[in-house]
């Protein structure tokens, strides 16, 4: 069975409206909601910029069953790993078995704009590995002393520890991240949409990581992020999802391009035909089911739809009433 989840995207929607959205998701039986953890958005015009962590607390308090977490937090510069560990330990303590943490190497639009130099890919990867070690150690250990190449803590202890295991998901679009997910995480998250790349590069690297860690590859969660827009009028669905054109340029995940105005300018080269081909732009449930099949067949255990619909509640109802039941 593949779970169909929704991402509450702070870049496109203000936090008050996102809170209403997640309450509706909970009422409609959506199992998980991922929320973006960004300082700046992928687009300038009509954008928003809510902070994920206070929103998560509010969303958990206002809902009963839905499981919430970030997609994704970068514990490398803007956030020190020890603070990430404390925040999510507290959330899990207050809302047991309803919290997860997604992590990744981040983007310049969040890290540079909050006052940091943008490291090389090699350094970002080193930082991520150290951060994972430190977060896990603080969640499970007592007094922690650690000195790495990038972070250190002395006589550090989380006095409020998580009540249960917090699922940790590692995000990336390359083999190095996929392998690390197999070694250290409970699952792998990607927004890579090329079936060949996923099948021939990412999943084999993920499997190699599980060989190192001794984990069962088949039980590891494999999670795909996919922008989605639903409206009975296909043109309206396309107009709404144009917001995400800048995020389609993969270089922006690695290089120091941090100004949303510049990202928006570059994103203009992405046409509606490309959006419809790559993203889930649909006017019926049947169309959505058909477009998702190739990813289901690849072995994804969860597909997270970034809800960019003109009326977001309509997509929520479509998922809960027609798309999710089909994949059960």
Q: Which of 10, 11, 92, 107 is the catalytic position?
A: 107
The rounded distance, in Å, linking the Cα atoms of 21 and 34 is 12
The DSSP H or E segment spanning 282 is: strand 280-282
Q: Please classify residue 151 by burial: count the beta carbons closer than 10 Å to its beta carbon, then call 0-12 exposed, 13-18 middle and 19+ buried.
A: middle
The DSSP H or E segment spanning 236 is: helix 234-241
- Nearest in space to 95 (alpha carbons), one of 58, 139, 51: 58
Is 107 a known active-site residue? yes
**Residue environment code for 296-325, b if the CB has 16+ CB neighbours within 10 A, otherwise e:** beeebbbbbbbbbbeebeebbebbbeebbe
Q: Which of 10, 11, 38, 150 is the catalytic position?
A: 38
The rounded distance, in Å, linking the Cα atoms of 134 and 211 is 23
- Nearest in space to 71 (alpha carbons), one of 204, 154, 167, 2: 167
Is 150 a known active-site residue? no
N-to-C CA span, the chain: 5
Sole residue written with tokens 């296909």: 234
Q: Is beta strand 302-307 parallel, antiparallel or unpaired with respect to 221-230? A: parallel
Sole residue written with tokens 């083999």: 175
**In 3-state terms, what secondary structure has residue 7?**
strand
- What crossing angle do the helices spanning 81-94 and 121-140 adopt, rounded to 10°? 40
The DSSP H or E segment spanning 152 is: strand 152-156
Q: Where are the alpha helices (DSSP H) in 81-202?
A: 81-94, 108-111, 121-140, 175-184, 195-197
The rounded distance, in Å, linking the Cα atoms of 6 and 250 is 22
List, by residue number, the catalytic residues: 38, 107
């Amino acid at each position: 069975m593949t779970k169909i989840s929704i991402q509450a995207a702070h870049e496109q929607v203000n936090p008050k409206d996102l809170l209403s959205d997640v309450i509706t998701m909970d009422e409609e039986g959506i199992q998980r909601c991922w929320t973006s953890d960004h300082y700046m958005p992928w687009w300038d015009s009509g954008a928003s910029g809510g902070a994920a962590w206070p929103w998560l607390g509010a969303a958990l308090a206002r809902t009963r069953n839905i499981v919430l977490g970030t997609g994704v937090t970068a514990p490398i510069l803007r956030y020190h790993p020890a603070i990430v560990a404390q925040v999510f330990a507290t959330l899990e303590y207050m809302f047991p078995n309803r919290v997860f943490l997604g992590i990744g190497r981040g983007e310049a639009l969040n890290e540079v704009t909050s006052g940091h130099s943008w490291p090389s890919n090699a350094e970002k990867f080193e930082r991520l590995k150290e951060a994972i070690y430190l977060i896990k150690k603080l969640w499970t250990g007592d007094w922690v002393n650690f000195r790495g190449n990038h972070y250190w803590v002395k006589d550090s202890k989380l006095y409020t520890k998580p009540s249960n295991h917090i699922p940790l998901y590692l995000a990336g679009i390359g083999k190095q991240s996929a392998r690390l997910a197999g070694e250290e995480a409970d699952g792998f998250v990607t927004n890579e949409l090329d079936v060949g790349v996923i099948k021939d590069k990412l999943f084999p690297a993920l499997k190699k990581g599980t060989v190192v860690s001794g984990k069962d590859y088949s039980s590891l969660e494999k999670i795909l992020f996919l922008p989605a827009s639903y409206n009975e009028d296909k043109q309206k669905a396309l107009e709404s999802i144009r917001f995400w054109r800048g995020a389609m340029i993969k270089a922006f995940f690695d290089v120091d391009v941090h100004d949303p105005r510049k990202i928006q300018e570059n994103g203009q080269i992405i046409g509606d035909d490309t959006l419809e081909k790559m993203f889930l732009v649909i006017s019926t449930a049947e169309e959505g089911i058909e477009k998702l099949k190739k990813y289901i067949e690849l072995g994804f255990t969860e597909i997270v739809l970034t809800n960019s619909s003109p009326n977001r509640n309509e997509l929520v109802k479509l998922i809960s009433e027609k798309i999710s039941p089909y994949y059960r």
